[in-house]
Amino acid sequence: MKRGAVARTLLHEIAPRPINPSRLARLQQWYNTTVATIGWRVYIFFHNSQIQQQIVALWRWQHHIQDRFVLHGLILLVTMLVTLHTAFPFWSWLTLPLATLTAELPTAETTDTGSLTDDTVTVAPPFATPDTSNAAIDLTQPAIQIPQPVHIPAFQATHQLAPGETLGTLADHYGVSIESLIWANDLQNGDVLAIDQELRIPSLSGIPYVIQPGDTLELIASRAGVVAEAIWLFESNGLQHVDFDQLPSGHEIFIPGGTQPLPEALLTLRGGLEGLAASQAQPAGLVREPQTNLRAGPDLVYERVARLDAERRVQLLARHAQWLKVDAAGTTGWVRVDLLEIPDGLLETLPETNDFPPPPPIWVWPTHGRITSGFGPRWGGFHNGLDIANRAWTPIVAARAGQVVEAGWCSGYGYCVRINHAGGLQTVYGHLIDQPVVRAGQAVAVGQLIGHMGSTYDARGGGYSTGVHLHFEVRVNGRAVDPLRFLP
């Protein structure tokens, strides 16, 4: 018998059938008629002349044995006769010229396809002829079946994926649905199937589920499209001695025959169910740490395109130096080799590539204009920055990627922005025309707009401005240095 047929037979067995009240009434009628008929035949048995003569002869012989043995023997004899007639109705000498009683007891037959045939109970009343003036009464009903516990494990095996194997071939081989394989192995996020990855194989189509606080068996069953008894009778769930409304939170169960829609994003990414069936096992790695950056190129200077959670499985496409080009559920980027868990010997099989964009600049000029005052001694004092003049509202950008630590009115500078960078570097942008467009705590990329050129200053803080310009500073560990050492 094929596994699919086994699954269908199993679901037939564990699915409770509705009980028809009229069917129960007919079974009750059959029972009462059978008991009455047996009693009537016992009565006739004792009124048979030959039987009566034998009983009288036995009674006359009673002087040879004690009365109590005669009585016990008669009771035993009657009991045996009634029992034998019930078991072997071919005793024709006890047959009465009454209406025939026919009772076909419930039987279960298995067809070649593994499905169960409907069982029947046919009743013919022995004492009365049915009224045929009305519509005929159909006395054929399916037999009552009591659901029985299912003694199979939730998962029949684990399967290690070989190169080129697909979800479709796996589902066909084990006789389960593709959806069941996806939900049983947390593949719904679109991660790639990996070579040598171990997959759990359900014993039949269905879905696993981890019980959450407040769950009831009826609620879980309704969401999965099954009846609660199908879950309760599945013995590997361990719920036979658990109240339906007091389920153990955090316990994983299996819902035989249960269904759950696949995410639309997954179906779109893989091209529907047909695309999922054709998904092949590919070279892949496992993300080691949470919040791992996926970058646009093989270097830290490239911008981040995504963040990957730990345990995410990514497809390995190529390598460059100590970086790997990967695909994470449709998003392509680069990850450092040491941030992935990779099977031994797989790294060397990946092709080398130089197919990536040029690195972005580390430093850019913060604005356009004319340098009106450089870094160094000025007017009997020391100028610790670079003045760049242009028209009011000329855009000002971050000279390097970093994090804003101050944005607003600053002592001496008027409206200003301070940005911290790696390596103890900080840049300062003073005399902006208005409130900056960034805020403290915000991460900014190199070249990102932070404000506009103006001529504000704070006299109380010792600041001064003679016209519209940007005062730009670069500080290393708090000490001002010449910005021209860093600008391209």
| DSSP β-bridge partners for residue 287 | 340
From 38-47, 262-271, 298-307, 366-375, the region with the lowest mean pLDDT: 38-47
CA distances from 369 to 326, 432, 469, 470, 488 (A): 42, 15, 9, 9, 15
- Name which residue leads in pLDDT, 120 or 402: 402
Residue 29 has a pLDDT of 61
* Closest-CA residue to 259 (of 234, 232, 220, 224): 224
Rounded distance between C-alpha atoms, residue 401 and residue 444, angstroms: 6
Across 111-243, the runs of DSSP E, i.e. the strands, are 155-160, 198-202, 206-210
| Two structure tokens written together for 354 | 């130089």
Instruction: For the chain, state the CA radius of gyration.
Output: 44
User: H or E element: which one contains 287?
Assistant: strand 284-287
| pLDDT, average across residues 294-317 | 92
* Closest-CA residue to 375 (of 482, 487, 281): 482
Residue 278 has a pLDDT of 94
* Domain 370-485, CATH among 2.70.70.10, 3.40.640.10, 2.40.10.10, 2.60.40.60: 2.70.70.10
pLDDT tens, 363-402? 999 999 999 999 999 888 899 999 999 999 999 999 999 9
CA distances from 301 to 114, 290, 293, 397 (A): 64, 20, 12, 17
Residue 402 has a pLDDT of 93
376: left (phi over 0), alpha (psi -120 to 50) or beta: left
47: left (phi over 0), alpha (psi -120 to 50) or beta: alpha
* Domain 155-277, CATH among 3.40.50.300, 3.30.1490.20, 3.10.350.10, 1.10.10.10: 3.10.350.10
Rounded distance between C-alpha atoms, residue 35 and residue 32, angstroms: 5
Residue whose pair of structure tokens reads 């850019």 in the numeric block: 364
Q: What CATH superfamily classification does 284-349 receive? A: SH3 Domains (2.30.30.40)
| Two structure tokens written together for 85 | 């007639």
pLDDT tens, 8-35? 444 444 444 555 555 556 665 655 555 5
| pLDDT, average across residues 343-353 | 92
Percentage of the chain exceeding pLDDT 90: 57
Residue whose pair of structure tokens reads 């504000």 in the numeric block: 456
Q: Tell me the average pLDDT of the chain.
A: 80
Check pLDDT > 80 for residue 295.
Answer: yes
Residue 103 has a pLDDT of 36
Residue 76 has a pLDDT of 74
pLDDT tens, 44-65? 555 555 555 655 555 555 545 5
pLDDT tens, 122-145? 333 443 444 444 444 444 545 555
Residue 30 has a pLDDT of 58
CA distances from 244 to 218, 226, 227, 229, 442 (A): 8, 15, 12, 10, 51
Residue 60 has a pLDDT of 56
Residue 180 has a pLDDT of 95
Residue 144 has a pLDDT of 52
| pLDDT, average across residues 78-96 | 52
Residue whose pair of structure tokens reads 């080799």 in the numeric block: 337
Domain ranges across the chain = 17-132, 155-277, 284-349, 370-485
* Closest-CA residue to 385 (of 396, 395, 373): 373
Check pLDDT > 60 for residue 102.
Answer: no
Residue 464 has a pLDDT of 84
Same fold, 155-277 and 370-485: no
Rounded distance between C-alpha atoms, residue 12 and residue 116, angstroms: 8
CA distances from 348 to 100, 240, 339, 343 (A): 86, 53, 17, 11
Check pLDDT > 50 for residue 164.
Answer: yes
| Two structure tokens written together for 2 | 């094929």
